Structure 1
Amino acid sequence: MNRREVISHMIWMGAGIAFLPSCVYKQDQVSIQLKKIQINPKQEKFLTALAAAIIPATDTPGATELGAHLFALKMVDDCMTKESQDAFMAGLKSLQAEEPDPAKLMTAAEAADNKEQLAFLKDYRRLVVQGYTMSEYVMTNLLPYQLVPGKYYGCVPVKSLPAKS
């Protein structure tokens, strides 16, 4: 083996070693990068199920299929103040500890009258609905844009004007 072959093999091995970590798939990763708040995969799964309970899939896609839960997380991360983010995370942790089933969560939290949980649910529900209604699917298929709704008739004679009082 000559020196050029050894150097070539070393370069290929180095490239393979550098590329290897990107090939490893980890099951327990969150699907969105957030800067200010930190969620774990269990919390993301809980929020996904909660979004599905807010807007379930019927003959149209539900909130989770359109990514409304990820929109909500991104809005909390980017647009809320630090105090609001802390309250959101505290409400999430409190709800997740009490009621692991998101389908029962909506009625259980409203019946419990916990202000922290109710504030979290109100914010999250608002953001999920906003993300759903602003999604590409809803805007193109369910609410198609019309430049001018209805018809405009410009050449209609005015028969009589109402009398001034």
Structure 2
Amino acid sequence: MNRRDVLRNLALITGGLVMVPSCDFSQEDILSAYDKLKVSTDMKQLLGKIADTIIPPGKIKGALDLEIQDFILVMVNDCLDEDAQQSFTKGFKSFENYTINKTGNKFGQLETSQKEEVVLAGLQEEDEDYKDLQGFLGTTKRFTIQGFLLSEYMQTEVKPYSLIPGDYQGEVLISSLKSEKING
């Protein structure tokens, strides 16, 4: 074996071992696409579960299947003013504590009916302490519905979008008209 190769490998291993203690692997990765919100991957997954509670899968895909949480975060990050973004973030961060106070478990550990109850209770909360939480859930609900209805899946497979309103047919019997697939 070549002595130079051994020394080079030894230097690389020593340098790597010196660098390992300085690396902090405990911090959550902040997603750079949502720079104003400081959202981690765990928060994004939680938002997906909340959106999936609002529009669950059934005969058609649910909000989590269409990754509506990305749409919500982009809309909040790019379209809302700074005060609304801060309120959204405060409500988002307090949501897990609210869930634990209401049910005793984290949101991801709840049954579907319990998740629905927590979201409905948060939307109807009238206490001034939960103003940010109510704003967060209202914004999440609004953008979940908007993102779902404007998704490619809805516009192409469930309710086909026609750019042109249709051709003119002067005499058509109402009974011969074909209704659109609205609910899949």
Task: Establish whether TM, by shorter chain, passes 0.5.
Answer: yes
Structure 1 runs not aligned, ≥5 long: 1-5, 7-27, 155-165
1:137 is aligned to 153
Report the CA distance shift for 1:110/1:84 in structure 2 as closer, same or farther (over 3 A): closer
CA 1:148/1:45 → structure 2, altered by over 3 Å: closer, same or farther? closer
Distance, in Å, in 2 between the alignment partners of 1:62 and 1:42 is: 20
5 Å-filtered alignment, 1:1-165, equals 29=29, 33-99=33-99, 100-101=106-107, 102-113=115-126, 114-146=130-162, 147-149=164-166, 151-153=168-170
In structure 2, relative to structure 1, the CA distance for the partners of 1:30 and 1:57 (3 Å cut) is farther
Deviating 4+ runs (over 6 angstroms): none
Q: In 1, Cα distance between the equivalents of 2:167 and 2:118?
A: 43
Match of 1:12 in 2: none
Native 8 Å contact 1:30 1:44 kept in 2: no
Q: Counterpart of 2:122 in structure 1: which amino acid?
A: A
> What is the TM-score with the length of structure 1 in the denominator?
0.68
User: What percent identity do the matched residue pairs reach?
Assistant: 26
Query: Once the two structures are superposed, what CA deviation does each residue of 1:14-33 show, in whole Å capped at 9, x if it has no partner?
Result: xxxxxxxxxxxxxx657772
For 2:30 and 2:116, locate their aligned partners in 1 and report how far apart those are by CA, in whole Å: 22
> What does residue 16 of structure 1 align with?
none
How far off is 1:46 after superposition?
Answer: 1.3
Q: Note closer, same or farther for the CA distance 1:30–1:56 as it changes in structure 2 (3 Å cut).
A: farther
- Give the alignment's Cα RMSD to 1 decimal: 2.9
**Residue 24 (structure 2) aligns with:** none
Whole-angstrom distance in 1 between the partners of 2:86 and 2:135: 12
Shift of 1:41: 2.5
CA contact (8 A) 2:123 2:137 kept: no
Contact 1:29 1:40 (8 Å CA) reproduced: yes
Structure number with larger C-alpha Rg = 1
CA distance in 2, matches of 1:144, 1:30: 37
Alpha-carbon distance between aligned partners in 1 of 2:149 and 2:155, rounded to the nearest angstrom? 7
CA contact (8 A) 1:110 1:118 kept: yes
- Distance in 2 between residues matched to 1:115 and 1:34, nearest whole Å: 23
Matched pairs, number = 134
- Tell me: CA distance 1:31–1:134, structure 2 relative to 1, closer, same or farther (3 Å): farther
| TM superposition score normalised by structure 2 | 0.62
* Cα separation, 2, equivalents of 1:52 and 1:151: 40
Tell me, what secondary structure is at the counterpart of 2:33? Answer: coil
| Structure 1 residue 75, shift from structure 2 partner | 0.7
> Which blocks of at least 5 consecutive residues in structure 2 are unaligned?
6-27, 100-105, 108-114, 172-184
